[in-house]
Amino acid sequence: MTLSPSALAMVPFVSVDDMMKLVNAIGPAQMIAEIADYIEADFLRWDQFDKTPRVAAHSEEGVIELMPTSDGETYGFKYVNGHPANMARGFQTVTAFGVLARVDNGYPILLSEMTVLTALRTAATSAVAAKHLAPKGATTMAMIGNGAQCEFQALAFQKVIGINTVRLYDIDPVATDKAARNLANTGLTVIKCKTAQEAVTGADIVTTCTADKQYATILTDNMIGAGQHINAIGGDCPGKTELHKDILLRSDIFVEFPPQTRIEGEIQQLDAGHPVTELWQVIAGKAKGRSSADQITLFDSVGFATEDFSALRYVHDQLHKHGYFTELDMLADPDDPRDLFGMVRRANT
């Protein structure tokens, strides 16, 4: 027996509260590492995915995007907004939710908050890239931008890469204090820095995750030296970049999905033909990752639909292990599919 349509007509919903309970039950670093495994597994079957570019609705204040994908068996999409001015108004810059559905009958099988989950999957994706790109034995990471993504990145790199020291810098020292406080008792050595230059000094890995919607230069050319890995996650829409172009020209650049990254990533500053390597090819052994100790590697990350798919797939697999969900009456399910009208009218009696 398969599930009855009535059971399928109910959609499991993971609320923010459920997601926080799940993160705390598993542990944030552990959950990021487990999501990283799902992301890596899905990158390994890259060809199976329908790679539709995200659909963006831009406005003066920000952007609302739908990011769909499918592996032929399961379909997923994420709704996500990016509104840089939100923070000053007391809103999240990014909020998100996502859906998984069965391709064979089109029925949704999961609705989940993705504000928290996106933070986890972004950190997990950065860690997956760094496994292949960071210098061997890296111990120190500079973090430029200490906002909502910062601690997740730090824990991801501690758990997956083996970082033991983070050097924090933000234009707002309140953000740095917040991150330092949250990272106390994690086993990481946390160093608060007064300038970006100070933060990157001696760092094996440099993570940039700032949020201004403008062409910014968080890192200038002189700040980056031989052998460093740059994990650039803040530049993720047209007009929003963080790195000086000269850094890009000295780096070997790795991206998720070139057609999207050329529009949204740091490489929007470069010619459309500038060579980049797709991360999935590195993971699959089809292209080289880091090939020398002196090489500057850059992961120009903008976030891709398959990563959200992987994260949703992970959450779906946790539903019945942890039970943190409710059922939503979201799909009409008449006894006779042709009798939608009769179902509505009988509900009246």
Q: Which residues within the stretch 140-169 sit at the binding site for a second copy (CB under 8 A)?
A: 146-152
* Closer by beta carbon to a second copy, 82 or else 135: 82
From the list 18, 42, 170, 236, the catalytic residue is 236
Q: Catalytic annotation on 308?
A: no
Q: Is 142 left (phi over 0), alpha (psi -120 to 50) or beta?
A: beta
Contact status, residue 65 vs residue 188, Cβ threshold 8 Å: no
- b/e map of 276-313 (b: 16 or more CB within 10 Å)? bbbbbebbeeeeebbeeeebbbbbbbbbbbbbbbbbbb
Span near a second copy by CB under 8 A; candidates 60-68, 126-134, 235-243, 287-295: 60-68
Q: Does 318 bind a second copy (CB under 8 A)?
A: no
Q: Which of 32, 35, 42, 68 binds a second copy (CB under 8 A)?
A: 68
Q: Which of 30, 52, 164, 292 binds a second copy (CB under 8 A)?
A: 52
Q: Does 62 bind a second copy (CB under 8 A)?
A: yes
The count of residues interacting with a second copy (CB under 8 A) is 83
The footprint of a second copy on residues 83-112 (CB under 8 A) is: 83, 86-87, 89-93, 95, 97, 99, 101, 103-108
The footprint of a second copy on residues 284-313 (CB under 8 A) is: none
* Closer by beta carbon to a second copy, 149 or else 297: 149
Q: Which of 33, 35, 38, 77 binds a second copy (CB under 8 A)?
A: 77
> At closest approach, how far in Å is the CB of 62 from a second copy?
6
Q: Does 331 bind a second copy (CB under 8 A)?
A: yes
**Cα radius of gyration rounded to whole Å, the chain:** 21
* Closer by beta carbon to a second copy, 23 or else 302: 23
How many CB atoms are located within 10 Å of the residue 249 CB? 12
Q: Does 218 bind a second copy (CB under 8 A)?
A: no
d(Cα 240, Cα 261) in Å, to the nearest integer? 12
* Closer by beta carbon to a second copy, 150 or else 282: 150
d(Cα 304, Cα 47) in Å, to the nearest integer? 14
Sign of CA dihedral 87, 256, 264, 193: positive
The footprint of a second copy on residues 32-51 (CB under 8 A) is: 50
Catalytically active residues are 236
